[in-house]
Amino acid sequence: MTTRALVLYAHPCGDSFAAALRDRVTGALTARGWDVDLCDLYAEGFDPILGPDERRGYHDTTSNTRAVQSHVDRLRAAQALIFVHPVWNFGMPAILKGYTDRVFLPGISFSLENGKVRPAMTHIRKLATVTTYGASRMRAFLVGDPPRRVVSRAFRHACQPDSFLYMALYDMNRADAGQRADYLARVHRKMEHF
């Protein structure tokens, strides 16, 4: 059976290092015979704003997906979910955060049962993040490394995957060409066996 991967990519520049990472991820998965659905949030013009009507209807699982139904369908079709993005100001790019606010809805990524959050994305068997930080690993650690925590705790809980991977190139602002090339190669190797 072919694995279907949803790759959530967030960077506005086509010539960025993030774009090179996206290409490594999608190339390695495609070479393995996976069905890759690349969701390039900027290129697709995804609207990250959760408006008042969506917020008011957030917990209504009979209608809360209407505004983002095509994205919900793509997420539901996936067995693997891979985030590819830079870390800016110790967080995901706003467009990606907006995606999770609008698409990871009650009934889609979690359910509430007697006030407790239960996982609802258990069809996702593989979860990964491929990212870069301008800051050093120590600076990210000192502020709690929010992106890593969100993925490794909240999203991982929502999926309960068999395979989990978080790859980061820290101190990107000072990484030389060799370090970037090494990271690209490592990403490729990891995706070949993910």
Q: What is the pLDDT of residue 112?
A: 87
pTM for the model stands at 0.96
If DSSP codes are grouped into helix, strand and coil, which group holds residue 75?
helix
160/162 Cα distance (integer angstroms) = 7
161/127 Cα distance (integer angstroms) = 6
Q: What is the pLDDT of residue 167?
A: 98
Q: What is the pLDDT of residue 15?
A: 96
Percent of the chain as helix, strand, coil, to the nearest 5: 40, 25, 35
Question: 97-154: per-residue pLDDT in tens?
Answer: 999 999 999 999 999 888 899 999 999 999 999 999 999 999 999 999 999 999 999 9
Question: 46-94: per-residue pLDDT in tens?
Answer: 999 999 999 999 999 999 999 999 999 999 999 999 999 999 999 999 9
Q: What is the pLDDT of residue 115?
A: 85
Non-local CB neighbours of 156 within 8 Å, separated by 6+ positions: 127, 164
Phi and psi of 142, rounded to 5°?
A: -65, -30
- For the domain made up of 4-192, give the CATH fold: Rossmann fold (3.40.50)
